[in-house]
Amino acid sequence: MRQAVAEADQAAGVIPAAPWRVKALSILPDCRLAVTFKDGTSGIADLSALTTAANCGIYEGLKDPTVFGQARLELGVVTWPNGADIDHAWMYEQFKYMKTLASPGSATGWYRLVAFIQQVQRELPEFGQTSH
């Protein structure tokens, strides 16, 4: 398990106060994140569905464990160097009221996110493309 450091929060001197801002992040094996929010709400985000999903747009790079392991906090938001991030308010709601955020074999959470991304890609082919 690796603890991500919120360098951007500290460097800018900004202290996000909203309860749905992430204050602690640990990268766990098997594409999972342990997340704790400002108000103490916490949970495990299981993103393993991304490893088998096709055409994940900006999330495609997270299939590589090395890239996934580069998760970090920027102003209370989980981000990756490739520009991918997780909607912290949505994740907070999942943990606060559903007590979980996806699990392998579940049709909720990240599977819905992946399905949504795939739908957007079908309707907007330019979505998720990167310039080189």
pTM of the model: 0.65
Q: Classify residue 132 as exposed, middle or buried by CB count within 10 Å of its CB (0-12, 13-18, 19+).
A: exposed
Q: Calculate ∠ Cα 31-122-102, nearest 5°.
A: 25
Sequence ranges of the domains in the chain: 2-123
- Mapped onto helix, strand or coil, the DSSP state of residue 28 is strand
pLDDT digits (tens, 9 = 90+) for 60-113: 899 899 999 999 999 889 999 999 998 888 888 888 777 666 544 444 455 566
Other CB atoms within a 10 A radius of the CB of residue 107 amount to 9
Q: Where are the beta strands (DSSP E) in 64-131?
A: 72-74, 77-79
